[in-house]
Structure 1
């Protein structure tokens, strides 16, 4: 009987394939968005529809809109796709651990490539579990700061004022401008993060990313987890060495840490068949690629529902968007 094609793919290849496919999609969306911005700012007469998926790069705006949704039941009309993507990412964390970080996030993709390069250059350094926990503290502090400023301290009236402000209308365009013409300070920060990621794999994700910190908190509730069978384990330590989050897999019966990305690298590294596996409650085993497939399905399902409900594309007229972009162009929108 021929093997399933999924069995011939290692977890690393599945992960790299999903990450690369999503990265290519984002590059295409980014190019379309660039053409849209040129039209919106009066630099081109050729209208190109804005790709709503770029709103996924506005997590703070989406977080604020999510609070408004909870308190008023109203969907964000300015960046509706951003709110949809934010809810999809929260759903992934609750169902599939930090699968978004492991398979979807473009920063995670770059981090994984830098980690591979650092390993090949022989400069990558691993940390023990205790050091890993200490290194993760800054991102939780950043999350607390963002949550206080952007959510806790803002009432509904303040939130609506922000969401409907000219600044929020062009927030995605300002993000594009930032990446197209970064300041010297930004270039220096990117260089430091890049070098840091070569030496300490997933430096940004593990140490500084507040979005990842939020998902880590939710991932603790996920029913899916990697489980180790102590009876068959030979205590070789390969699983712990392979874990990008430096989790002590070989000492755990169930990897319940919120830092687990569900990448299944530990399963691939284990020399004992079925010692490590992705499981549901009741120890029901799942294929190693199930978290990757689940993340893609959640994203597609939320996109389909948002399309069906008419909450994916902004209902606001393009004339309004172009007016705000022209204001940005002449410097009337700065903060």
Structure 2
């Protein structure tokens, strides 16, 4: 590959490009969603269709709907796109490690920007493998709690009741209201998380994110991984220092940890050509950008399949959805 093309497709540029592109898309979808909510709340009669992609911010609802799908074979009619996105993200983890966290997740994008800022300010601190494992425990405990409350303890009848409840109909709008007008407590929590992310890079992702914990468990099944060739490794440690998950890459022959987000920053940092590479089954080498391309492809294929099946948008009457929003407006829906 020509040197100019190699620089253009460097892991940092590819990752930042995909993250920025998806962030811009989400900002556009968010703006359209605000216009939709204004109509749904009766603030205007100018109807703007709801962008289904915003349902991707409802992973708990999607998790519950996924259990319903497994037990009954019925698709979620309230937030169908959310269920499609959830399944796509699970599949992405199995195929491409935690590529969702590394390239798609907006919180991951914000975390990467804060990590860069912390490094520039020289306040970022690294943790060793043992400390990193201990720090990851809270997110697994949170995952277990959410799984118990939202899935294990709910039978099909309870799931039906939740998915068709007035609250679930307006859950995405409630989410929007939370971010547009956060409480003082929420602002304080955001500030603490932001400062913590400057000192401990990717604090939320590594310590507290239950969604990431679920993906970590599935990512262990991924056939794609970064491999190190011990025969040419010079043990400089640059790969380990570049890893956002603080994995000891220089001591591993295959980076099989569920915490790997597939960012390939370790490959970019390595001074020895061919020492580190992304590999498929059979140790077949892939381009460093293949995980990023695969993640984008999974989302596009999922969207295309949902559109072809006519299941990307909710089939429920807009008049009924608007009625629930009117109830929310006057305080009849609080939870």
- Same fold by TM-score greater than 0.5: yes
Question: How many Å separate the matches in 2 of 1:264 and 1:173?
Answer: 36
1:264-318 Cα deviation digits (max 9, x unpaired): 0000000000000000121100000000000000000001001111111000000
Question: How many Å separate the matches in 1 of 2:108 and 2:171?
Answer: 22
The answer for the alignment partner of 2:31 in structure 1 is 31
1:10 Cα shift?
1.1
1:214-251 Cα deviation digits (max 9, x unpaired): 00000000000000000000000000000000000000
Question: How many Å separate the matches in 1 of 2:94 and 2:252?
Answer: 21
Determine whether 1:294 maps to 2:294. Answer: yes
Q: Is the 8 A contact 1:88 1:299 kept in 2?
A: yes
Question: How many Å separate the matches in 2 of 1:70 and 1:30?
Answer: 30
The answer for the alignment partner of 2:128 in structure 1 is 128
Q: How does 1:131-280 map to 2 (within 5 A)?
A: 131-280=131-280
1:53-89 Cα deviation digits (max 9, x unpaired): 0000000000000000000000000000000000000
Q: Is the 8 A contact 1:29 1:51 kept in 2?
A: yes
Question: How many Å separate the matches in 2 of 1:38 and 1:23?
Answer: 22
Question: How many Å separate the matches in 2 of 1:205 and 1:55?
Answer: 21
The answer for the alignment partner of 1:87 in structure 2 is 87
Question: How many Å separate the matches in 1 of 2:280 and 2:21?
Answer: 27
1:156 Cα shift?
0.4
Give me the TM-score of the superposition, normalised by structure 2: 0.99
Question: How many Å separate the matches in 2 of 1:149 and 1:162?
Answer: 12
1:26-58 Cα deviation digits (max 9, x unpaired): 000000000000000000111000000000000
Give me the TM-score of the superposition, normalised by structure 1: 0.99
Question: How many Å separate the matches in 1 of 2:233 and 2:6?
Answer: 24
1:5 Cα shift?
3.4
Q: Alignment partner of 1:254: what SS?
A: coil
Q: Alignment partner of 2:35: what SS?
A: helix
Structure 1 segments, 4+ long, off by >3 Å, are 1-8
Determine whether 1:118 maps to 2:118. Answer: yes
Question: How many Å separate the matches in 2 of 1:330 and 1:83?
Answer: 29
Unaligned runs of 5+ in 1: none
1:6 Cα shift?
5.6
The answer for the alignment partner of 1:55 in structure 2 is 55
1:4 Cα shift?
8.0
Q: Is the 8 A contact 1:6 1:289 kept in 2?
A: no
Unaligned runs of 5+ in 2: none
1:2 Cα shift?
5.1
The RMSD of aligned alpha carbons is 1.0
The answer for the alignment partner of 2:15 in structure 1 is 15
Question: How many Å separate the matches in 1 of 2:217 and 2:98?
Answer: 10
Question: How many Å separate the matches in 1 of 2:9 and 2:101?
Answer: 20
The total of aligned residue pairs comes to 335
Q: Is the 8 A contact 1:19 1:103 kept in 2?
A: yes
Which 10-residue stretch deviates more, 3-12 or 297-306? 3-12
Question: How many Å separate the matches in 2 of 1:126 and 1:7?
Answer: 27
Q: 1:21 to 1:171 in 2, by over 3 A?
A: same
